[in-house]
Each structure stands twice: as structure tokens, then as C-alpha cells.
Structure 1
């Protein structure tokens, strides 16, 4: 066991907890009302945060107060609109805005972090030789990609998804097990709560049109799907190569596109199966070259 890493993680978590407590204590009804009014008026969080800093707030406490208030407000609106309640989700330790995260066997770069929707872009998650090994192991087992059929609980071909793919079993090889352990540490989520790693291959023109990764509660087959580990609550897309053109991961609701860079990854989480999570996303068409990715979906509970 790495005692130094464990102590650092404990200290980081304790510091974050103290800031969160201070933020909650500082959120008076007047401040909460003011933050909500700013959001309803269309002022983006960075502008509101700057106003709080200008008023003399400590930046860390102001950031926590802003995030707590907006998240609680969103949860209240969700309940009022009849949405399902939010659940715990995977979350990397980014409370102190680190440039890098120690994942035990590898140090991963933090390139971008968004709060709403929760999107984090990581650099250097996979080594070049790991990317090559994943593609080589997956290629002989490739077949037309399927999607989960929420009407039946099975799988089906979907015209919106024009890629080839395959699944590895959890810990199927030493390489897979090592990557899964790295992901679990990066996202603070148990290995057993993850589905098997899926590798996808997109040729020129192939794409995956915008969609959500959670399972629609209104579909008749969803109850069967959820028996295997509950809802999906997070997605990690790892880029195994860099296409010549196209192939980015798009988030249409917030007009963001993540470029597919070899070894990098994009993570996003969703605490309820609802469009309010703003996690609509897609794989843009590959214009030139080809795209290889590895996807890890994370469930609420142990995936069986």
C-alpha cells in the first residue's frame, strides 16, 4: 500500500470537507437567493464567482458556495418537475484544481473540468503502447456495434451507431485489469461497479449520433437491464488513436467538442436518468482517417 498517497488523499479530502462546511455555513438565505437570481438572469457561473471574489469572498469558499447552491437549486427543480432523485456518481478528486492526478501506476493530466454538465478531460491516461495493445487485442473480435434495447432489455443494431465494436470481460487480461484499477482510482469508483471495457472502431463517415448513456426509465426493458447493477451514472471515453479529421466527442447542449487525442480521455457523469443532466453527447463523423476508442460505463452498484 502506498502510505504517502493514502495520506495525501486523506488530507485532500479533509481540506475539501472543511471548505464545504464553511461554504454551507456561509450560505445565508439572502446569498442563496442572490446566486439563484444571477443564474436565472443568465449570468454564467464564472461571472457570478468573480462578483463574489470582488465582494471579498475567499475563492475556494465562494466556489463551493456557488456549486452547492446551484446544485441544490437544480435538485429542487428536478423534484418539482417529477424527475427521479439524484444518486451518488463517480467523481475525480479535483477540489484543489490539481494539474495532475496520481492514479497509482500513472500520473494523469487534468486538461478541462466543467461543473454542469460534469465533464472532465484527462490527458495521458493511457500510454501509447497500451493503446496499441488494446487495438490489437480487440481487432480480431470486432463486429457491428449494438446498442442496449431498452424496449426488451436485449441488444439491437441502431442506425445511429455506425461503428464496429467488442467487449472485454472485467480483468480479462493483465492489461485490462491494470487499466480498470487506474480508472477506479482516477474516478473514485469501485472496479466491480464498472461494465466490461468496450473498444469501438469508426471508419471514415462512421458516427454515433447524439444520445444519452443512461437507460430510459419509461422503456419496458429498463427494469431488466437495471437488475445487473442499477443505472449507468458515468462514462469514460478513452481515445486510442488520433484521427486525421473529425471524430470528436460532442456535447450539443453546451456546444462543446472534445478532440480525440491518442491517450487522452473524456469523463462525464449523470446523477439521474433525465435530460436535465445535460449529458446529451455523440461521436462526430470521422472525416479522414479512422478512430479507435475504449469506453467504460459505470453503474450505481456491482455490475454482474
Structure 2
């Protein structure tokens, strides 16, 4: 940042803004939550970071709270589609994708027509012979476990496993401005009647003993893309209960959400509501902070 930018940024950090930041801290808000709120209100990246460093961090340190680590995490880059200017359509390289909606906090972007009907059917056909009861990450050990909260059947493609998978991964990278090598393999899941995935976070809990093992390769997860391959007749929405948001599982559409720090302040608690009638298929792509 040059001297002119520093001066302009400092001018935006008004006494009123400083008082508001301190009031949030005294009300018990964590640094990450304050940063997210400022971003959602339209403050620029420079202003939010500098304001926290100069005001919130100093205040919290005076209270014996270590704010620096959370601020550093909340300021790191995350996948983000280019929605500047509120476009109706986005360029995904080999395909135009509709922009159906955005939410600032939690950061959610909903896409229409991300996959064609033919791509949905092809992914299902390639995945079906390999489906097994879905496991969840065990953050105690860094392994996997059966969990009653998740009652789907699933499988993983290796990255670039087939021309179809490679094409979809390139589309994701182009749309979300995140390199292919920073993504896990695509997971395909099938949910029958009554199947669900109860609300959870996709990042790995920093306090859990198995997280160091889970993040050895690629670091933390920082974003999730859920692609809908087939829609049930009723139920099966992707829900964000803390934000009161529900995304219908329409075939070919997708929902993306990001989380710049592994913290509940991102408000990315989410789940797959029970399928009430029919069958739901999805493909999930988790994005990491580094090469995976």
C-alpha cells in the first residue's frame, strides 16, 4: 500500500467507525465476526483490515484477548466469483452460467445451469457402481467414520479422472477464480427418501486433535460448491439454519459458499434437509487454501 492509499484509507476510519468496532467487541463479538459484518456492509478490504488492526486488535489485546490470529485468517484470500456490476450471466469458460442470487454473510452465490442435463446423467452413471455408505471426517484422528448425521451413499472421483470430470473442474476453477490444484476430488452423493446430512461446518476444527493430519495436504478448506445432479419431488434443500436460508436442489444448478476462517463467525453452518419424496443426487467440490 502506498502513502496515498494509506492516507485515503485512514480518512475512512472515522471516530464513529472506531466506536462501533469497540462496541461490538464489548458486546462479545469475535474479531472474525466484526470483519465479516464490515465486509457485508460494503467497507473495502483495506479499510476493514486496517480498522481492525488499529482499533479492535488494540482494544482486545488490552482485555487480554489474542485477536491477531483470527484477523489474519479472516483477511486471507478465498475463492470468489466475479459478480462485480451484478451480471446476469457469468463466463465459466466453456459455458455461460446464470447468476441467480448472492448473500454477503454467509457468503453464498447461487448459480443456474452450471451443469447440462447430459453432464448430470453422465456423472451419475460414472459414480453409481462405486457408491457406498457415506463417511464423515473424524477430526479426533484425522481419518473417517460412520456417522448417523449423514445417511447418504457416496464416492469420490480422483481429480482429472475422466474428460468429464476434468472439464467440470476447469469450469469450477474459472468461475470461482481458484486453481484446479487447490481442490479436492469431486464427491458424488445419492440421497433416498429420509436421507439427510444434519447441519455441520465444512472446515476442520482447529482445536480438534486430528486437524493437523487433515490439513497436512492442502491446508484448510476455504470454500464449497454443491452441484445438483438430480432433484427430488419434495425436500432435500441445502439449508443454512443460522441465516434462515434454504436453497432448492434444482437439477443443473449449484450453490457456492466460502469461509475465510475456520470459525462459526462465517455463519456457514449448513445441512442437507431430509428427502421427503423421490431421490436427490449432488456433486460436491471442496476447495483448499493451498495445493491439494
Number of aligned residue pairs? 264
Give the superposition deviation at 1:26.
Answer: 6.1
| CA distance 1:192–1:22, change in 2 (3 Å) | farther
- Please state whether the residue corresponding to 2:154 is helix, strand or coil: strand
In structure 2, what is the equivalent of residue 246 of structure 1? 235
Q: Which of 178, 203, 225 matches 2:192?
A: 203
Contact 1:144 1:163 in 2 (8 A): yes
Write the distance in 1 (CA, Å) between the matches of 2:272 and 2:7: 41
- Please state whether the residue corresponding to 1:104 is helix, strand or coil: coil
| CA distance 1:234–1:78, change in 2 (3 Å) | farther
Contact 2:205 2:262 in 1 (8 A): yes
Q: Which stretches in structure 2 are left out of the alignment for 5+ residues? A: 28-39
TM-score, with structure 1 as normaliser: 0.79
| CA distance 1:78–1:88, change in 2 (3 Å) | farther
Q: Deviations over 1:23-44 (max 9, x none)?
A: 8476241463487699999xxx
TM-score, with structure 2 as normaliser: 0.82
In structure 2, what is the equivalent of residue 230 of structure 1? 219
- Please state whether the residue corresponding to 2:149 is helix, strand or coil: coil
1:29 matched to 2:18? The reply is no
Write the distance in 2 (CA, Å) between the matches of 1:245 and 1:72: 47
Moved more, 24-33 or 276-285: 24-33
| CA distance 1:204–1:22, change in 2 (3 Å) | farther
Write the distance in 2 (CA, Å) between the matches of 1:66 and 1:252: 28
Contact 2:108 2:257 in 1 (8 A): yes
In structure 2, what is the equivalent of residue 108 of structure 1? 97
| CA distance 1:74–1:196, change in 2 (3 Å) | farther
Write the distance in 1 (CA, Å) between the matches of 2:170 and 2:130: 24
- Please state whether the residue corresponding to 2:173 is helix, strand or coil: helix
Matches within 5 A, 1:40-189: 64-65=42-43, 80=60, 82=66, 84=70, 85-86=73-74, 87-189=76-178
Give the root-mean-square deviation of aligned CA atoms.
Answer: 2.9
